[in-house]
Structure 1
Amino acid sequence: MKIYISADIEGVTGITHWNETDKGKGDYGYFAEQMTREVAAACEGALRAGAAEIWVKDAHETGRNIDPEALPEITRLIRGWSGHPFSMVQELDESFDALLFVGYHSWAGSNHNPLAHTMDAHGIQYIKMNGIYASEFMIHAYAAASLGVPVVFISGDKGLMEEAKAMNSSIRTLAVNEGIGDSTISIHPQVAVEHIKKEVELALKGDLALCKIEVPEYFEVEISFTAHKKAYKASFYPGMKQLSANAVSFESHDYFEVLRMMSFVL
């Protein structure tokens, strides 16, 4: 099996404050290590299930958070950002048997995680796809679906697990924390590591075809920016319409065109 893992940090166990996500802050080091541990656990679970090739995308902020030496030797680690519209699943293609998400978080505008956001931590009020608030998981799960790659596992906050199950009930989910206001309730970091390892193994030993997500035939995307000047600038992207001082909309039958638009306006 050839497996792809996309990893973020705002959904690792224990994380609660923006200082814990920022390389320039003293709290960051511990949570970058926990992000690494959770990704390494997912790799171990994949190996136990028979994976022969594992690709990992470090998909938080700089794309330079995961300790490469902590990962199995067969792993290929994607660091930094190429600028490709696939963004957090850069290099994903039809050759992969499954996609896994580790450390993901709820969408901008939700109350499931103190660090909830979508693509831009502070510049986006919300993104909606076909009237539904979109998370980074949703955006990239549809990218996988457009290639026919099943999404088999996700870990992160409790609210996001509910979103994943709504997209496809066969996806194995693991809630490592739950956001309540500006606080979190989290499981023990070592428990998270062991559960990720176990759940990934079970996910990859199951019927992967059951985890394929259906791609909508048409996309209506609404983006609300915190700053009105960003909406004004985005309104000049081909096919974009301005809805209000802060919001724009874009429609397409082609999901790659949606991703291309986001790569230029977000």
Structure 2
Amino acid sequence: MSSLPDFALSECPAPAPAADTTRVGLIVPSSNTTMETELPELFRRQTEATGHRYTFHSARAGMRRVNPEELRAMVGKAADCAAAVSDADVEVIAYACLVAVMAQGPGAHIQAEAVIAKAAAENGRPAAVTSSAGALVRTLRSMGVRRVSMVTPYMRPLTQMVCDYVTGEGFEVVDAIALEVADNLAVGRLNPENLPEIARGLKRNGVDAVVLSACVQMPSLAAVQCVEDEIGVPVITAATATAFEIFFALGHRPAIKGAGSLLSGVWPRQAGSLAV
């Protein structure tokens, strides 16, 4: 009969004091497999640099296929998800589905963030709120970006809708490549090693930045730094922009290596609105 080996209590790592740990709440599609891996990896690198620790706590809203009907239904569940995740006493909540919000029409991130903030506050656990949709446009604005090219996993009509949304926020979309993957689980299986070659196909003349993944489900973290190094302009993703705003909401300066200049600390976040 096997038994557990003996060990000294001194061999167990001591937990960090509560004051050195921040809880982050996420609202993700039920089929999302990427945001809960890329964000913790980014914040693990932040912990390596600063010593501050972060934990992630998620609520899931049903969504399997990226189409208008399922996206609309997912947005309708935002308040319930916000109340549920706020029970974990998180300091910030990130609504992590860019296209679900943008599909609701111009400026929809403002309303979505307000709904989430209200639900958390009414649950007795107020928190700062961002969304991947709002984070993307606010981050581009705070970086002084005017012209941008993008890669999306969406079908062409949804990609055009994202382009129209970004254009409506005051940016010029020079080019957008649509990978046309409708199943959200399949989006999560896309190989980020293919992104450098895909990015080479973008029209980039005169762009101020490239959005390598306008979707938090499309894996991209492994490619961000190498694409930025190759093309010589800032490269961001929906996930890195969301992380950037989480840091801003917490008052923490990012110090992350290997994820693009945005999270390296060289781009100070300008004053702007986050829902509270």
Q: TM-score range by the shorter chain?
A: 0.3 to 0.5
Structure with more strand by fraction: 1
What is the TM-score normalised by the length of structure 1? 0.38
Q: Rg larger in 1 or in 2?
A: 2
